[in-house]
């Protein structure tokens, strides 16, 4: 599922021009690439025998981590950090073992619930050390989080939805439907959708799909464009809304989703066309001249409503099975999948991958601490941890509280499958778990991707396809 296409999202918050990833979470309109995203270091491999996914549901009192160094190593030093905080609060030397293997024992008795980065530096005899990081979580569902959901949050978005609904949807097919065979889908994935060919052969249901450009009117009356793909035939089929990662870029046709049996719609959430050669970077997006007052003037107001209007489009189609509509995406798309499920109960399952911009108060707290010149941690060892400030003291904080996916999460009542790259600097672990912890549904699962950054996992995609089969009671 290309909803995982969150790989390049790592650039998204830093560069508004970047795009999202593939299948359930990536969705990039570019050739397939095997390059991983920072801060992965192929010369370093971390392993924890007690918990291979590096998540401890109860404080183990000691965490033992091995690091295999795949270059000639002399010695290794380490430092321990709060997740994504540059300043360390503990340091030490790793125990060297034969075969360039090192052992690090971390006393965790005084560590409160949350995520921690273990950063290592390997002396190889060269001027610059070989550096790497692994992240582990302790009782992540119990970590402290600020409560910032405004009292009028529900009323604010109900009003916005009512105003958006007054505009006729006016769906249009913008070009001639095109049929793709199995071989053509494979070629398209490799050349234009940043996907390998047939990475999930067991989930393929149809060898032929058709695809065309579609459009509808958005919340402000301007047209929203997308690629629709579906199995050849009248259906009805389950539906899938594929939501893009960050940036201004072309969108790929969701052919992989269609051959898995879905009427799939991949939209351009900025109101731009889906196949332009050059894209204008619009003001107000992420850190680009954002507007915080009035709240409804924020850039993401219409982004969220455009995504919800896409649910209107899919639900109105006669070839869509009622009650079987999934929202999927990675990075910004993972964020938007939570948003649309909260805004529209017709979304009956979501797969949210490396969701970004959740737990906004903690994101800003991290940013402030990393910019501070003094030690940001109040105390050294043991750590005196505290709940990050709410951020509501500023106009930005008061506004963003209406757009933080963590504040939408309590309204999500459908089944949810999420993942998180534990070393992901774009969608940090604490940020993704901030959304997960607040979900209103008990039917939820999160998959930690230990050692991965802002990246796609073929096996998670396969897991997600099977999970959706179960949710929608599909035959394969």
Q: Which of 11-25, 85-99, 219-233, 340-354 has the lowest mean pLDDT?
A: 11-25
CATH number, domain at 137? 2.60.40.1220
- pLDDT in the model for residue 373: 62
Tens-digit pLDDT profile for residues 388-410: 777 788 899 999 999 999 999 99
Residue 281: Cβ within 10 Å count: 12
Whether residue 162 is predicted with pLDDT greater than 60 in this model: the reply is yes
- Domain membership of residue 447 (yes or no) is yes
CA 198 to chain CA mean position, Å: 23
Same domain flag for 129 and 176: no
For the chain, percent of residues with pLDDT exceeding 70:
91
Tens-digit pLDDT profile for residues 336-348: 999 999 999 999 9
Same domain flag for 353 and 293: yes
Whether residue 274 is predicted with pLDDT greater than 60 in this model: the reply is yes
Same domain flag for 327 and 442: yes
- The token duo for 171 is 């769906």
Whether residue 25 is predicted with pLDDT greater than 60 in this model: the reply is no
Backbone angles phi, psi at 376, to 5 degrees: -80, -15
**Which of 476, 305, 475, 328 lies closest to 416, judged by CA?**
328
Same domain flag for 277 and 378: yes
- The token duo for 45 is 């491999």
Which residue has tokens 């997960």?
A: 436
Same domain flag for 174 and 314: yes
- Domain membership of residue 175 (yes or no) is yes
Whether residue 166 is predicted with pLDDT greater than 90 in this model: the reply is yes
Whether residue 259 is predicted with pLDDT greater than 60 in this model: the reply is yes
Half-sphere CA count of 250, side-chain side, radius 13 A: 13
- Domain membership of residue 14 (yes or no) is no
Over range 41-57, report the average pLDDT. Answer: 96
Same domain flag for 92 and 217: no
Q: What is the DSSP string of 304-327?
A: HHHHHHHHHHHHT-TTEEEEEEEE
- pLDDT in the model for residue 352: 98
Over range 96-115, report the average pLDDT. Answer: 95
- pLDDT in the model for residue 18: 34
Half-sphere CA count of 79, side-chain side, radius 13 A: 15
In this structure, are residues 15 and 323 in contact, taking their beta carbons and an 8 Å threshold? Answer: no
Q: What share of the chain is helix, strand, coil (3-state, %, to 5)?
A: 25, 25, 50
Q: Which residues are catalytic?
A: 331, 424, 454
DSSP designation for 132: E
Same domain flag for 397 and 444: yes
- Domain membership of residue 13 (yes or no) is no
Q: Per the structure, how many domains does the chain have?
A: 2
- pLDDT in the model for residue 384: 53
CATH number, domain at 204? 3.40.50.1820
Over range 455-465, report the average pLDDT. Answer: 96
**Which of 433, 240, 406, 232 lies closest to 324, judged by CA?**
240
Nearest-angstrom CA–CA distance, 257 and 65: 38
- Domain membership of residue 222 (yes or no) is yes
Q: What mean pLDDT is reported for the chain?
A: 91
Backbone angles phi, psi at 424, to 5 degrees: -70, 115
- pLDDT in the model for residue 24: 54
- pLDDT in the model for residue 326: 98
Tens-digit pLDDT profile for residues 146-161: 999 999 999 999 999 9
Which residue has tokens 């500023």?
A: 394
Whether residue 332 is predicted with pLDDT greater than 90 in this model: the reply is yes
Tens-digit pLDDT profile for residues 291-328: 999 999 999 999 999 999 999 999 999 999 999 999 99
- Domain membership of residue 15 (yes or no) is no
Same domain flag for 125 and 158: no
- pLDDT in the model for residue 35: 83
Domain end call among 115, 142, 169: 142
Alpha helices per DSSP H over 316-449: 332-343, 360-371, 395-400, 405-408, 429-438
Tens-digit pLDDT profile for residues 374-393: 655 554 444 555 567 777 88
User: What is the span of the domain harbouring residue 90?
Assistant: 44-142
* pTM for this model (two decimals): 0.93
DSSP designation for 24: B
Residues making up the chain, counted from first to last: 476
- Domain membership of residue 417 (yes or no) is yes
Over range 254-279, report the average pLDDT. Answer: 96
Same domain flag for 223 and 122: no
Confidence band of 1 (pLDDT split at 50, 70, 90): low
- pLDDT in the model for residue 21: 46
Whether residue 441 is predicted with pLDDT greater than 50 in this model: the reply is yes
Same domain flag for 233 and 171: yes
Return the exposure string of 369-381: e unless at least 16 CB atoms fall within 10 Å of the residue's CB, then b.
Answer: beeeeeebbeeee
Whether residue 439 is predicted with pLDDT greater than 80 in this model: the reply is yes
Same domain flag for 130 and 179: no
Whether residue 199 is predicted with pLDDT greater than 80 in this model: the reply is yes
In this structure, are residues 323 and 348 in contact, taking their beta carbons and an 8 Å threshold? Answer: yes
Same domain flag for 322 and 365: yes
- Domain membership of residue 147 (yes or no) is no
- pLDDT in the model for residue 7: 31
Domain end call among 95, 118, 142: 142
Q: What is the H or E stretch that residue 461 is in?
A: helix 458-472
Confidence band of 33 (pLDDT split at 50, 70, 90): confident
- pLDDT in the model for residue 393: 85
Domain end call among 103, 119, 142: 142
Whether residue 459 is predicted with pLDDT greater than 90 in this model: the reply is yes
- pLDDT in the model for residue 376: 54
């Amino acid at each position: 599922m290309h909803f995982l296409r969150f790989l390049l999202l790592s650039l998204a918050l830093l560069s508004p021009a970047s795009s999202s990833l593939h299948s359930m979470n990536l969705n990039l309109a570019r050739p397939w690439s095997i390059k991983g995203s920072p801060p992965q270091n192929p010369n370093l491999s971390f392993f924890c025998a007690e918990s291979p996914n590096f998540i401890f549901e109860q404080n183990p009192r000691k965490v033992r981590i091995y690091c295999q160094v795949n270059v000639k190593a002399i010695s290794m030093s380490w430092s321990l950090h709060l997740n994504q905080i540059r300043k360390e609060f503990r340091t030490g030397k790793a125990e060297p073992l034969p075969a360039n293997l090192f052992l690090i024992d971390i006393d965790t008795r005084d560590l409160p619930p949350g995520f921690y980065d273990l950063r290592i530096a390997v002396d190889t005899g060269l001027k610059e050390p070989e550096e790497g990081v692994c992240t582990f979580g302790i009782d992540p569902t119990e970590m402290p989080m600020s409560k910032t959901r405004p009292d009028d949050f529900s009323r604010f978005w109900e009003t916005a939805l009512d105003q958006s609904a007054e505009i006729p949807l006016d769906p249009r097919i913008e070009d001639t439907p095109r049929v793709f065979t199995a071989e053509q889908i494979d070629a398209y994935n490799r050349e234009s959708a940043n996907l390998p060919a047939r990475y999930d052969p067991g989930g393929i249901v149809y060898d032929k799909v058709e695809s065309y450009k579609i459009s509808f009117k958005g919340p402000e009356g301007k047209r929203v464009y997308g690629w629709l793909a579906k199995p050849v035939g009248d259906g009805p089929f389950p539906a899938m809304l594929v939501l893009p990662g960050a940036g201004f870029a072309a969108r790929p046709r969701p052919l992989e989703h269609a051959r898995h049996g879905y009427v799939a719609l991949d939209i351009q959430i900025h109101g731009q066309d889906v196949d332009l050669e050059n894209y204008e970077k619009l003001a107000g997006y992420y850190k680009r001249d954002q507007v915080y007052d009035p709240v409804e003037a924020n850039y993401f107001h219409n982004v969220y409503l455009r995504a919800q209007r896409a649910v209107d489009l899919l639900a109105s189609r006669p070839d869509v099975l009622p009650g079987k509509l999934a929202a999927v995406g990675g990075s910004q798309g993972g964020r938007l999948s939570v948003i649309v499920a909260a805004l529209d109960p017709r979304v009956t399952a979501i797969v949210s991958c490396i969701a970004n911009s959740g737990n906004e108060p903690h994101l800003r707290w991290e940013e402030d601490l990393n910019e501070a010149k003094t030690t940001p941690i109040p105390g050294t060892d043991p750590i005196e941890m505290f709940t990050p400030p709410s951020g509501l003291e500023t106009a930005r904080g008061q506004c963003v509280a209406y757009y933080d996916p963590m504040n939408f999460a309590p309204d999500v009542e459908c089944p949810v499958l999420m993942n998180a790259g534990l070393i992901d600097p774009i969608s940090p672990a604490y940020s993704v778990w901030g959304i997960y912890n607040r979900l209103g549904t008990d039917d939820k699962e999160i998959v930690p991707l230990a050692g991965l950054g802002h990246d796609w996992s073929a096996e998670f995609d396969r897991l997600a396809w099977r999970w959706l089969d179960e949710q929608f009671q599909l035959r394969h």
